[in-house]
Amino acid sequence: MNTSTIETSESSTKRVLLLKPRGFCAGVVRAIDIVQIALDTFGAPIYVRKEIVHNSYVVNDLAKKGAIFVNELDEVPEGARVIYSAHGVSPAVREAAKGRGLKVIDATCPLVTKVHVEAIKFAKQGYSLVLVGHRDHEEVEGTQGEAPDVTQVVSTVEEVEALVVPDPDKVAYLTQTTLSLSEAGIMIDALKKKFPNIAGPKSQDICYATENRQTAVKNVAHGADLVLVVGSANSSNSNRLVEVSKNLDTNSYLIDSADAIDPVWLEGVKTVAVTAGASAPEVLVSEVVEYLQAKGFGSVDEVEVMPENVRFGLPPEIVQAIASAPRMSVAAV
């Protein structure tokens, strides 16, 4: 674990620990790049099904540039261009897009696509599928949609215990990418107890960004009086960071921005750890740090728990669009 002091004040006893890695993951960077490149290449408006990533600042910023966010494809004019969000879509959505003659650009995170591919593979092999996740989350809706007839979504151990399947020896599990590692472990243990021969993914479905941000909180929360997580209320991985901290008995709040901080939270607090969910931009983190500095937290130490250097390539439809679009300049890419 590396610690680097960004700014210090010898007299200050109140400090900020700025966790690293934090904020944007490779899937979010890619998804935002896709919308921006599409806007630069084709011009506004560009339709986006659902929030491109679960962050209100990012969505508002792209909306100002000409992206139109819709809940369902029937809000997109026939033949228009639409981008799928980083959370992925079900085959039913893909069919609906074909039916309306939409030009699709897919910003699904490759690590979500990995789970879709596993779902298709297990379903083809005749498995009953158990998907561990939050059933109202878009990612879960998309994954479940790959094999809706054989997939059951569970989010509690009680739901695992109540599962009924045609053949208990032919069951496979998958998980949402942004779960709490410890909660997912409890769920998988319960599944293994109920179905001793259960199959699972070759490597865990919880993504590297979710794991790394949780690990950073686990490493630092014990030394902090408060953990502030920058992220929107509908961001799954951000909510999990708050839970990880609270499970370690360190108070924690999810905040969309510095404006959401209640000064009461800082009473009697000497050390605040600050992190950000995978869809929260760094500008919001900087504003939180500035707010804390103004409240007397004069020392800001960046604590790097592990390096993170993941990057994903752009999807072929956007690469082709760049190649064939005269409006796009190389510098803009």
235 is in an annotated binding site: yes
CB neighbour class for 195 (10 Å; exposed up to 12, middle 13-18, buried from 19):
buried
Closer residue to ligand SF4 (CB): 102 or 111: 111
Closer residue to ligand SF4 (CB): 55 or 210: 210
222 is in an annotated binding site: no
Closer residue to ligand SF4 (CB): 58 or 209: 209
54 is in an annotated binding site: yes
Q: Distance (Å, rounded) from C-alpha 234 to C-alpha 134?
A: 11
Output the smallest distance, CB 231 to ligand SF4, in A.
11
182 is in an annotated binding site: no
Q: Distance (Å, rounded) from C-alpha 220 to C-alpha 222?
A: 6
Q: Distance (Å, rounded) from C-alpha 17 to C-alpha 65?
A: 34
Catalytic residue among 51, 118, 139, 183: 139
Output the smallest distance, CB 122 to ligand SF4, in A.
19
**Which residue number places its CB atom closest to ligand SF4?**
27
Residues forming the site for ligand SF4 (CB under 6 A)? 25-28, 86, 109, 111-112, 177-178, 207, 209-210, 237, 278
Q: Is the peptide bond before 45 cis (omega within 30 degrees of 0)?
A: yes
Is residue 139 annotated as a catalytic residue, yes or no? Answer: yes
Output the smallest distance, CB 318 to ligand SF4, in A.
16
Q: Tokens 């293994």 belong to which residue?
A: 192
CA distances in angstroms from 83 to 4, 35, 306, 317, listed in the order given: 39, 7, 33, 11
Output the smallest distance, CB 205 to ligand SF4, in A.
9
279 is in an annotated binding site: yes
Cα-Cα-Cα-Cα dihedral of 2, 288, 280, 265, to 10°?
100
Catalogue the E-assigned strands of the chain. 2-7, 15-20, 46-49, 67-70, 81-84, 103-106, 128-132, 151-154, 171-175, 226-230, 251-255, 271-276, 299-304
Closer residue to ligand SF4 (CB): 89 or 292: 89
236 is in an annotated binding site: yes
CB neighbour class for 40 (10 Å; exposed up to 12, middle 13-18, buried from 19):
buried
In this structure, are residues 46 and 39 in contact, taking their beta carbons and an 8 Å threshold? Answer: yes
Output the smallest distance, CB 209 to ligand SF4, in A.
4
Give the length of the chain. Answer: 333
Closer residue to ligand SF4 (CB): 46 or 86: 86
**Binding residue positions:** 25, 54, 87, 109, 137, 177, 207, 235-237, 279
**Binding residue positions for [4Fe-4S] cluster:** 25, 109, 207
**Binding residue positions for dimethylallyl diphosphate:** 54, 87, 137, 235-237, 279
Active site residue ranges? 139
